[in-house]
Amino acid sequence: MGEEGTEGTVHLLCLAASSGVPLFCRSSRGGTPARQQLPFSIIGSLNGVHMFGQNLEVQLSSARTEDTTVVWKSFHDSITLIVLSSEEGTSELRLERLLQMVFGAMVLLVGLEELTNIRNVERLKKELRASYRLIDSFLGDSELIGDLTQCVDCMVPPEGSLLQEALSGFAEAAGTAFVSLVVSGRVVAATESWWRLGMPEAVLLPWLVGSLPPQAARDYPVYLPHGSPTVPHRLLTLTLLPGLELCLLCGPRPPLSQLDPQLLDRWWQPLLDPLRACQSLGPRALPAGFPLHTDILGLLLLHLELKRCLFTVEPSGNKGDRGARGWQGRAQRDTLSPSLPPPEPSPGQRRHILRSFYALVTAAHFPPEPGQQEEKVENAAHRVQVPRACYQVSGTEEPGSGWRLVALHLGPRLLLLLLSAQSPTHGLRGLATHTLHALTPLL
């Protein structure tokens, strides 16, 4: 989550709201899990000031010090989550959504009844250990972004229609309507019923699969925070290729033993080549050879109504080709300005930059996303003044002096681009518009 080179620390605290008893504390430093724990006196002070405000009918939601941002959030008057972040550029939006995802992960693996009706604190502590791996993945430097956007991370396979047809046939043969193909936490293809899953389980289920250690098959009990928070379902996973898993969400049937090799061979053996193509996409998330401008260092495309997104900071399949093409006239600019451009940011830095830019434009510039609270009636007359595009330059606007960021919101789609320092600012909107039109058929 943090930018490489920074040593920001994130502490996540979970407490029983009524008693203030800590249920767990998870920490990360520089994007990797850390064993550092907060002293009990600090935990008690953070919870105490929150409870003091509640007693005065004051809702304390966030606070900032010189180097730390703190966000509090209570769930069902039973669980209080507190997050402290000293990472550079951390936004309150990011931390608020982190707490929502953490509570969703707790419901997913423990169930809402256990969290809202705490009978035995020590037993609950033990049960919550099952959620640590998933929660730690939210605190780390993940290649996914669904925790922030609240949209499902997707991948565009080169032969999507063949995979979709096989997925539908396999779902019917297996006796469940909820089936998906997941590669490293990204959904490659899914049945219509799977896509209709509510939030946050639509994001949490593939993220959970991507966070678990490799295993040939699993039969995993899960609760659906939105659809079935008190009655568990079964999440079955079958590894077709390393990193590529077939996921089924079902009730008591079918048993895992019923998904025998013959059934798998019938539907997936003929599609080994398309499956291997998905496996090789990796963090690019786009088909090899998909035309993108060489100035693009990273992109985030969201379909706000379907709640799906494409996120990559490695859009160029062959890094050696970078710089061979680009804006018309770049050679002339290089002749006039022979100084070397600054080195490109690393993948971890690109993820951090795009995450920060998304939080900025979502909180400050663009209207509420579909499904969220609508604007107040008194602001309806000003909707025409809402911006549809914005850009940011990290540093001065002199050529080659800073990274370019541009966001474009058209209809249900929102596109964010991270561009190289050579991209002229006057061409950012045109490049974003052209890229959005090219990506629209994919999402």
Q: Which amino acid is present at 120?
A: N
Residue 55 lies in a domain: yes
pLDDT greater at residue 284 or residue 329: 284
Predicted local confidence at residue 384, as pLDDT: 55
Cis peptide before 341 (omega within 30 of 0): no
Q: Which of 94, 116, 141 corresponds to the end of one domain? A: 141
Predicted local confidence at residue 374, as pLDDT: 42
Contact yes or no for 193/170 (Cβ under 8 A): no
The pTM (predicted TM-score) of the whole model is 0.88
Between the alpha carbon of residue 213 and those of residues 106, 238, 347, 368, the distances in Å are 19, 13, 23, 37
Q: Which of 141, 169, 202 corresponds to the end of one domain? A: 141
Q: Express as a percent the part of the chain with pLDDT over 70.
A: 87
Contact yes or no for 239/216 (Cβ under 8 A): yes
Predicted local confidence at residue 395, as pLDDT: 67
- Give the residue ranges of DSSP H helices in 157-260: 160-174, 192-195, 201-211
Residue 21 tokens read as 């008893």
Residue 276 lies in a domain: yes
CATH value at residue 58: 3.30.450.70
Q: Kindly state whether residues 272 and 302 are assigned to the same domain.
A: no
Q: Largest Cα–Cα distance in the chain?
A: 73
> What is the sign of the dihedral through the CA atoms of 189, 193, 199 and 200?
negative
Q: Is the pLDDT of residue 364 over 50?
A: yes
Predicted local confidence at residue 32, as pLDDT: 83
pLDDT tens across 79-91, in order? 999 999 998 878 8
Q: Is the pLDDT of residue 22 over 70?
A: yes
Q: Kindly state whether residues 435 and 309 are assigned to the same domain.
A: yes
Q: Kindly state whether residues 131 and 166 are assigned to the same domain.
A: no
CA dihedral 280, 281, 284, 290 (to 10 degrees): 120
In this structure, the number of other CB atoms found within 10 A of the CB of residue 397 comes to 11
Residue 42 lies in a domain: yes
Q: Kindly state whether residues 301 and 257 are assigned to the same domain.
A: no
CATH value at residue 191: 3.30.450.30
Measured distance CA(198)–CA(34) in Å, rounded: 32
Predicted local confidence at residue 104, as pLDDT: 97
Torsions phi, psi for 291 (to 5 deg): -75, 115
Q: Which amino acid is present at 115?
A: L
Q: Kindly state whether residues 239 and 301 are assigned to the same domain.
A: no
Q: Which of 94, 112, 141 corresponds to the end of one domain? A: 141
Q: Kindly state whether residues 306 and 436 are assigned to the same domain.
A: yes
pLDDT greater at residue 2 or residue 380: 380
Q: Is the pLDDT of residue 396 over 70?
A: no
Measured distance CA(230)–CA(419) in Å, rounded: 46
CA dihedral 136, 304, 172, 264 (to 10 degrees): -50
Strand-strand pairing, 389-393 and 228-241:
unpaired
Predicted local confidence at residue 341, as pLDDT: 58
Rg from Cα positions in the chain: 23
Q: Is the pLDDT of residue 378 over 90?
A: no
In DSSP notation, 348-376 reads: HHHHHHHHHHHHHHHHHTSPPPTTSPPPP
Q: How many domains does the chain contain in total?
A: 3
Torsions phi, psi for 74 (to 5 deg): -105, 145
Q: Is the pLDDT of residue 377 over 60?
A: no
For residue 226, with 0-12 CB atoms within 10 Å meaning exposed, 13-18 middle and 19 or more buried, which class applies? middle
Average pLDDT of 420-424? 88
Q: Is the pLDDT of residue 334 over 80?
A: no
Contact yes or no for 401/420 (Cβ under 8 A): no
> What value does the mean pLDDT of the chain take?
85
Q: Kindly state whether residues 159 and 251 are assigned to the same domain.
A: yes
Contact yes or no for 128/110 (Cβ under 8 A): yes
Predicted local confidence at residue 98, as pLDDT: 96
Q: Which residue has the tokens 């951390």?
A: 90
Phi and psi based region of residue 150 (left: phi greater than 0; alpha: psi -120 to 50; beta: remaining): left
Residue 275 tokens read as 């499956």
Contacts for 381 with CB less than 8 Å, ≥ 6 apart = none
Between the alpha carbon of residue 442 and those of residues 50, 52, 145, 287, 352, the distances in Å are 45, 50, 18, 10, 24
CA dihedral 215, 211, 158, 249 (to 10 degrees): 70
Closest to 154 (Cα-Cα) out of 179, 177, 183: 183
Residue 191 lies in a domain: yes
Q: Kindly state whether residues 402 and 423 are assigned to the same domain.
A: yes
> What is the sign of the dihedral through the CA atoms of 329, 332, 337 and 338?
positive
Q: 224 by DSSP, 3-state: which?
A: strand
Q: Do you know the residue count of the chain?
A: 443
Residue 379 lies in a domain: no
Q: Kindly state whether residues 207 and 308 are assigned to the same domain.
A: no
Average pLDDT of 50-77? 88
Residue 103 lies in a domain: yes
When pLDDT is cut at 50, 70 and 90, the band that residue 381 belongs to is very low
Q: Is the pLDDT of residue 71 over 60?
A: yes
Predicted local confidence at residue 339, as pLDDT: 52
Predicted local confidence at residue 8, as pLDDT: 84
Residue 28 lies in a domain: yes
Helix (H) / strand (E) element for 125: namely helix 121-128
When pLDDT is cut at 50, 70 and 90, the band that residue 231 belongs to is very high
Task: Give the range of the structural domain holding residue 131, as residue numbers without chain letter.
Answer: 9-141
CATH value at residue 415: 3.30.450
pLDDT tens across 186-206, in order? 999 999 999 999 999 999 999
Q: Kindly state whether residues 300 and 438 are assigned to the same domain.
A: yes
Residue 371 lies in a domain: no
Q: Kindly state whether residues 18 and 38 are assigned to the same domain.
A: yes
Q: Kindly state whether residues 356 and 266 are assigned to the same domain.
A: no
